[in-house]
Amino acid sequence: MSFHKRLTRALAASAAVVLGVLPAQGLAAPPPPLQVRAAALIDASTGQSLYGVNAGAEVAIASATKLMTALVVLQHAGLDQVLRAPAYQLAAVDSQIGLQSGEPMTVRDLLIAMMLPSADDAAYDLAYNVGGRSVSQFVAMMNTEAAQLGLSHTHYSTPVGLDTPGNHSTADDLVALARYVLRTEPFVRQVVAMPTAHIRVGGEPRTVSNLNGLVGRVPWVNGVKTGHTLDAGYVLVGSGRRDGLTLISAVLGASSESARESDTLALLNWGFANFRLVAPVSSGQLVASRPVRGRHGLRTALVASGSFSRVFPRSTRLTIVVHAPRMLSGPLRKGAIAGTLTVMAGSVPVARIPLRLRRAVPAPPSSLNPTTIAGPFTLVLLVVLLGVAVVKGRRERLTARRAASQQQE
């Protein structure tokens, strides 16, 4: 039987139910030792931080810069738009596809060249043209977007990622940016998961390879972006999906390509081994049903008014507690709150979700309505008592008169 069926049956059976969701599975293993300047690991679905090493330190990020370059380009240009390369003086150490001044390429192919082999000339081409023939204008757009996304420790001075003053970010900001880009830009999500791709450079076909050596080699790794400069060291923003859980990592300042890949793999493997995504309640899910007072055989469903999902260590024991009346008394409108579902992690409440009525609850029949019954009955009783008092008073006055007459005689 599925978890949701067991949950629904158990919760519907009682007014207050405690249901174990995750059995204790022992303590989580310690995180792997990483020889990096900074690192971070988050859950992609919720954005929860699972681990960090100097995750808030502002450091050089090399070509991880191009994540923001790609985002701003996609916000302002179409994939089929053709751009002509500006004159760009490349350093010998730059990664490039050898664009010549005036050479045409689509935005699609330029983005692929920028994200997989990390071509600096492709990044400069995109920034120059999308920035209105101004790279500095494009960099201003990058910083505006960073501020809007709340990346408070990120600043750009180049769309390429070369070592320039003022171009920095943090491991925390990088994983947050990668999460946003992967969620909002399906083209980037598709590209960064490819080991190789075919593009056209100046009309000529070319095959380019992903510098992220984990993509294609490790089946569950699906991104995201590499980087390397003297100041930044070796950088890799990684992503992987296993067992319904997607994790995003960042390692900054590794000593080599192989080190950044092994550290990324170790961090992701640790995350998958020690955490799991739990989603015990979804909006509109039937949680319980209750009988209606005075309406024999009628029951009304109580449904969750919201969803809850969160990543927990596998060692965490979760319970669900439902509080709702054993019987409902109407009238109650459809959607009225009639109970509460609480998710507990150990002894700590981590979510409280109101339970609402799936349909309206009618009032009891008039024959069972205490107000209706008490009104006429009370009135009749008062009239009878008043009548008795009147008769009794007359008799007492008559008796008194007779006694007075007898005394006079």
Active site residue 258: no
Helix ranges, 206-283 (H) = 257-274
Q: Give the closest residue to 118 by CA, choosing from 76, 90, 153.
A: 90
Active site residue 225: no
| Cβ(303)–Cβ(287) below 8 Å | yes
Spatial separation of the C-alpha atoms in residues 264 and 249, rounded to whole Å: 7
Sheet containing 286-292, strands listed edge to edge, beginning at the edge strand earlier in sequence: 16-22, 318-323, 337-345, 348-357, 295-304, 286-292
Q: Which of 14, 45, 49, 66 is catalytic?
A: 66
Spatial separation of the C-alpha atoms in residues 23 and 319, rounded to whole Å: 10
Residue 6 vs residues 230, 310, 398: alpha-carbon distances, Å: 56, 20, 80
Spatial separation of the C-alpha atoms in residues 36 and 32, rounded to whole Å: 12
Spatial separation of the C-alpha atoms in residues 159 and 141, rounded to whole Å: 10
Q: Which of 95, 118, 169, 249 is catalytic?
A: 118
Q: Which of 14, 45, 63, 255 is catalytic?
A: 63
3-class DSSP assignment, residue 363: coil
Q: What is the DSSP-derived secondary structure letter of residue 34?
A: -
Segment (H or E) for 351:
strand 348-357
Q: What is the distance in angstroms between the CA of the first residue and the CA of the last residue of the chain?
A: 102
Active site residue 66: yes
Spatial separation of the C-alpha atoms in residues 338 and 302, rounded to whole Å: 7
Per-residue burial over 46-69, b if 16 or more Cβ lie within 10 Å, else e, is eeeebbbbbbebebbbbbbbbbbb
Spatial separation of the C-alpha atoms in residues 291 and 270, rounded to whole Å: 48
Q: Which residues contact 218 (CB under 8 A, 6 or more apart)?
A: 240, 265
| Cβ(52)–Cβ(172) below 8 Å | yes
Give the phi and the psi of residue 147 in degrees, each rounded to 5.
-65, -40
Q: Give the closest residue to 202 by CA, choosing from 76, 110, 307.
A: 110
By annotation, the residues acting in catalysis are 63, 66, 118
